[in-house]
A and B are shown apart, each in its own frame.
Chain A
């Protein structure tokens, strides 16, 4: 019981800290890739406290709910967007021998199901705002979820087939280095589809700040807007963690797996988060029709190919 409480406290702490770390990394990495300095003032040393300062500012801002909005849904939406990412983390193992809060036997299925709920927050926000931009953004969010959920689920099923279990801990235990080439297509499909579900650039057509002024978040300001931002960064952490666990071997590394497994997991999560930021800086936004085309003409067939490959290799080895 005590162990479980400690684990839950650690989980909540990780949920509070990791997204901020990714956010700060994004500030600095983007700035340097664009030949700027990024935040330098807050906290004195290279602006490390910038996001803390942002938080202090957000919490003092007025809470404006537009007169035309559907009040209750409008106010609830940020929570629906944020909390699922906390709940997904419960099944993500960070080390061997039970370094996970809950080793659910249907862990993978659970993670995918709960991750999908986060998107509903954005759709709720888009509808409840009673704003044309928000509605348009909400529609695009819904369309994007439907197109990219499928390749994501199929790619994840490939990892489950390879491991022969749905438990995330079990998948990492079964993982061997040669899964990297074997599951490479699945890993790329999963990661790209996940990015699209998080509406990260270059898949940020639904929020497109320069075209439909942040889509579903148009009417949001102050703390509720900050919660949506936090949800985006928490989503990056969750996506990176799931990709790590399913395709990159989680806590496994070249040495000291049992002692420093959690460190390997964190390293891989941060490396993938860096890639997420890198892609944002490198690629222009996809147009809505290009976005749908990528999902249906590329990712879905590729994930079916990966399923076939996984099945053949697995049966041939058995």
Chain B
């Protein structure tokens, strides 16, 4: 068994291994590849015609309401995890179960509200 900080040290080591895999592949690539940039090659791809305007164009962000919903729901869902490990422990039982239904009820009401408001449709 590895200690608490020890286990995150292992993950840091693994992160280095992962960086090594990607870095090694790219280093091999650097030694083996040709390098002949031309102006045409470096233009933005737009199906073969000259690009119009720039790539960071304005577009309608349709999903910002999804983003709000996600943040609200995800923050709620995070609280589920610590609760999930203890809710059936001796001495809890019925009480925590009722609490869970209150929690789910809030989530579900929120979802129905969002649905009725029409924010769950893409266009």
Contact = CB atoms under 8 A, between A and B. Distances in A.
A229 interface: no
Nearest to A68: B44
A307 B105 CA distance: 12
A135 B66 CA distance: 18
Given A102-B2, A109-B81, A139-B59, A86 B17 contact: yes
Contacts of A61: 29, 33
B100 A62 contact: no
B56 interface: yes
Contact of B81 (A166, A301, A308): A166
Interface string B54-67: 11110101110011
A212 to B, nearest CB: 11
A311 B107 CA distance: 16
Given A147-B70, A292-B122, A296-B111, A59 B32 contact: yes
Contact of A83 (B22, B80, B94): B22
A219 interface: yes
Contact of A154 (B2, B80, B122): B80
A296 B108 CA distance: 11
Contact of B111 (A11, A101, A292, A300): A300
A150 B93 CA distance: 26
Interface residues of A, number: 78
Nearest to A292: B122
A60 B32 CA distance: 5
B100 A307 contact: yes
Interface in A1-23: 4, 8, 11-12, 15-16
Contacts of A87: 11, 14-15, 18
Contacts of B11: 87, 90, 102
How extensive is the interface on chain B, given as a class?
Answer: 35 or more
Nearest to A291: B122
Contact of A135 (B56, B85, B94, B96): B56
Contact of B104 (A16, A79, A307, A318): A307
A106 B104 CA distance: 23
9 contacts: A64-B42, A67-B43, A79-B18, A101-B14, A129-B55, A150-B73, A160-B84, A289-B121, A293-B122
Interface of B: 1-2, 7, 10-11, 13-15, 17-19, 21-22, 25-26, 28-30, 32-37, 41-47, 54-57, 59, 61-63, 66-67, 69-70, 73-74, 77, 80-81, 84-90, 93-94, 96-97, 100-101, 104, 107-108, 111, 114-115, 120-123
Query: 9 closest pairs, A vs B, by CB?
Result: A130-B55, A289-B122, A83-B18, A143-B63, A146-B70, A161-B84, A67-B42, A160-B84, A223-B29
Interface of A: 4, 8, 11-12, 15-16, 58-68, 78-79, 82-83, 86-87, 90, 101-104, 106, 108-109, 127, 129-136, 139, 142-143, 146-147, 149-150, 153-154, 157, 160-161, 164-166, 213, 218-219, 222-224, 227, 288-289, 292-293, 296-297, 300-301, 304, 307-308, 311-312, 314-315, 318
